[in-house]
């Protein structure tokens, strides 16, 4: 089936900025970070497409950026941050399994080729859910690097195109690791992902309830210079220990990590 592919515009921008989950209370809680990210990136090479189901409903989306804005080595290629088709019971319901993901990926590849890029990279998980690496391999991508469950995949469009690599993470400085003094919660966030934005909001809320025993810090990683300084785009740390932020991390889990550090430092 042929699907209609559209780009974000003044009529559908709001739905794009909540990842088509305008029914979600968590999207509202995450704030306007993604909207602000879109405004900052729309004229910096952002690629974004949405797909309409047969009934004209926006049912899926893909977003891809020049490599300089992604946690990968630089080069003349693009990186897929996210591709998904609505799979929740809420809202418009589950629209997966109809070929819309493939239609979105084809549209992105055609767009990236037209921009003269040497290839398209993506990240995937080795587990059979969100952003499955196996799905990308079925679409002609190959794994070029693995880090735990996370895989970096690649489809070159030009002969001799250099393969991408994950950025190497820089060690966190003492002021982020809580060596003596208050517990340090630190968030690295670029605004692209509501899950990361929600973690940022919840971490700040947890820190505020502990007074001077907990300090919250935030690093905006949208700019390439900052991203490459740290080797991280979206991450959350408590005294230097990284917390898994997806699926959306709860305040309770963040608070539990804080309490553990306070007990360790005999400040609880």
The domain 174-264 is classified under which CATH number: 1.10.10.10, 3.40.30.10, 3.10.580.10, 3.40.109.10?
3.40.30.10
- pLDDT tens digit sequence for 5-31: 999 999 999 999 999 999 999 999 999
pLDDT, tens digit, 9 for 90 and up, residues 28-84: 999 999 999 999 999 999 999 999 998 999 999 999 999 999 999 999 999 999 999
Architecture of domain 4-156: 3-Layer(aba) Sandwich (3.40)
Q: E strands of the chain, at which residues?
A: 4-6, 47-52, 58-66, 78-85, 119-125, 142-147, 150-156, 183-189, 214-220, 235-238, 241-243
Boundaries of CATH 3.40.30.10 in the chain? 174-264
Intervals of CATH 3.40.630.30 along the chain: 4-156
Alpha-carbon span 119 to 96, nearest angstrom: 26
- For the stretch 87-126, pLDDT in tens is 999 999 999 999 999 999 999 999 999 999 999 999 999 9
**63-75: buried (b, 16+ CB within 10 Å) or exposed (e) per residue?**
bbbbbbbbbbbeb
pLDDT digits (tens, 9 = 90+) for 137-192: 999 999 999 999 999 999 999 999 999 999 999 999 988 997 778 999 999 999 99
pTM here? 0.94
């Amino acid at each position: 089936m042929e699907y209609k592919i559209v780009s974000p515009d003044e009529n559908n921008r709001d739905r794009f900025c909540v990842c088509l989950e305008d029914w979600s209370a968590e999207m509202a809680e995450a704030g306007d970070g993604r909207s602000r990210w879109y405004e900052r990136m729309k004229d910096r090479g952002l690629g974004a497409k949405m797909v309409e189901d047969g009934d004209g409903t926006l049912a899926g989306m893909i977003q891809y950026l020049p490599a300089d804005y992604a946690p990968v080595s630089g080069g003349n290629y693009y990186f897929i941050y996210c591709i998904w088709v609505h799979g929740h019971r809420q809202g418009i319901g589950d629209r997966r399994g109809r070929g819309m993901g493939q239609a979105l990926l084809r549209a992105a590849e055609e767009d990236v080729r037209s921009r003269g890029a040497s290839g398209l990279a993506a990240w995937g998980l080795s587990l059979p859910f969100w952003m499955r690496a196996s799905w990308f391999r079925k679409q002609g991508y190959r794994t070029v690097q693995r880090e735990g469950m996370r895989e970096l995949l690649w489809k070159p469009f030009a002969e001799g195109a250099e393969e991408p690599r994950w950025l190497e993470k820089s060690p966190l400085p003492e002021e982020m690791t809580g060596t003596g003094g208050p517990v340090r919660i630190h968030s690295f966030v670029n605004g692209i992902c509501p899950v990361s934005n929600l973690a940022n909001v919840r971490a700040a809320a947890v820190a505020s309830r502990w007074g001077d025993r907990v300090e919250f810090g935030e690093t905006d990683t949208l700019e390439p210079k900052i991203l490459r300084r740290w080797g991280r785009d979206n991450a959350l740390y408590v005294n230097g220990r990284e917390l898994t932020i997806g699926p959306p991390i709860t305040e309770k889990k963040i608070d539990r990590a804080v309490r553990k550090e306070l007990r360790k430092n005999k400040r609880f």
